[in-house]
Chains A and B, each alone.
Chain A
Amino acid sequence: MEIIMQPWPWYVAGPAIVLVMFLLIYSGKEFGVSANLRVMCSAIGGGKTCEFFDFKWQDQVWNLVFAAGTVIGGFIGANYLSSSTEVEINENVRQELVDFGIADAGESYLPGEIFTWEALGTAQGWIILVLGGFLVGFGARYAGGCTSGHAISGLSNLQLPSLVAVIGFFIGGLIMTYFILPVILTM
């Protein structure tokens, strides 16, 4: 039990994710979480104004159920299967974040001051929470998939377009991390 309560190393996590992909493919589906966002657009009536959302979303309910499961899994994992929510990141990286003003860097999954409802009263909070979420949703659909659909499923199927998408993920991520985030975090 003690081993389960500790953070899992990469060589456990990677194969465990493949198990999830296996279970979905064996069930006749595929591993791609961002498709849910399109299903939600359709479910709230997006098909009336935009043909991209005009499809039978009821056929994709399994994926919404999967997403609901990941919410429950997050609750179980954080509350019952973790002795601590501390994340032991690289000390130099942690110190850099402290210098950017995130005093409690690494003490929980994410910067506690930014990921709160109160942060929506600040420009910084709007940029990280709202603009961040918007870019993820826009980019995932434009690229036709996210980390699960391209980086895991697509690369596993040796899809060159997925490799191009993953290279894109890194170009965007590096630009944000090295050039834009330092400005946003010190706002």
Chain B
Amino acid sequence: MKFLKFLLIGILFGIIAVKSEIISWYRIYEMFKFGSFHMYGVIGSAVALGIIMVQWMKRGGLKNVDGNPITFNDKAKTYKRYILGGIIFGLGWALAGACPGPMFTLLGSGYSVFVVVIAAAVAGTFAYGMLRKKLPH
């Protein structure tokens, strides 16, 4: 029962991902071709509103469901991993046309072959785990 709300939030996100077309390989390709404002508008408006929301939460505007103040973790202040990992992620994002969330959503929307894409993403994550200590961070 405690997981039901996360299932419902996931369903909501899946519907949003379909309806906003962010699951579309074509939208990702078009974004990297600077052919439309759509994806920039989706991410940009989410970030603009998100900044306001996070600031409000940090100033104690809201306690979470357990009654505790909401806290945010700062990311480690290194840069190699973010730029190198980011580039590798970007190569895959443009190639498969899907980031991790949409991979699951596309599976549900009827493209069963995304089982393979997700399995490959798990394999990629596993490979990172094995190589982690040898990579610059």
Q: Top 3 nearest A-B pairs by Cβ distance?
A: A73-B14, A69-B10, A168-B86
**How many Å lie between the Cα of A9 and that of B42 in the bound state?**
8
A109 touches B26 (CB 8 A): yes
**How many Å lie between the Cα of A160 and that of B86 in the bound state?**
13
Which of the four size classes fits the interface of chain B? 35 or more
Interface centre among B30, B78, B98 (most CB of A within 10 A): B30
Which of the four size classes fits the interface of chain A? 35 or more
**How many Å lie between the Cα of A16 and that of B82 in the bound state?**
27
A177 touches B108 (CB 8 A): no
Residues in B56-85 with C-beta less than 8 Å from chain A: 57, 62, 64-66, 68, 70, 72, 74-79, 81-85
**How many Å lie between the Cα of A159 and that of B22 in the bound state?**
23
Contacts of A136 in B (CB 8 A): 89, 92-93, 96, 98-100, 103, 121, 124
Contacts of A17 in B (CB 8 A): 13, 16, 20, 42, 46
**How many Å lie between the Cα of A184 and that of B29 in the bound state?**
14
Contacts of A116 in B (CB 8 A): 113
**Closest Cβ of chain A: how far from B107's Cβ, in Å?**
5
Judged by DSSP, the binding face of B is helix
With A119-B113, A156-B51, A158-B51 given, can you name 15 additional A-B contacts, CB distance below 8 Å?
Answer: A26-B70, A37-B122, A74-B105, A76-B15, A87-B26, A105-B26, A129-B96, A137-B125, A144-B76, A147-B100, A147-B101, A156-B46, A164-B83, A177-B32, A177-B33
Judged by DSSP, the binding face of A is helix
Contacts of A50 in B (CB 8 A): 126, 129-130
B106 touches A110 (CB 8 A): yes
Chain A residues with CB under 8 Å of chain B are 4, 7-29, 33-34, 36-38, 40-41, 46, 49-50, 52-53, 61-63, 65-79, 81-82, 87, 89-90, 92-94, 96-97, 105-106, 109-111, 115-117, 119-120, 127-144, 146-148, 150-162, 164-178, 180-181, 184
**Closest Cβ of chain B: how far from A137's Cβ, in Å?**
3
- Residue of B18, B47, B51, B120 near A74 (CB, 8 A) is B18
Interface centre among A53, A138, A152 (most CB of B within 10 A): A138
Contacts of B14 in A (CB 8 A): 69-77
Binary interface encoding of chain B residues 100-122 relative to chain A, with 1 for a CB under 8 A from any of its CBs, else 0:
11011111111111101111111
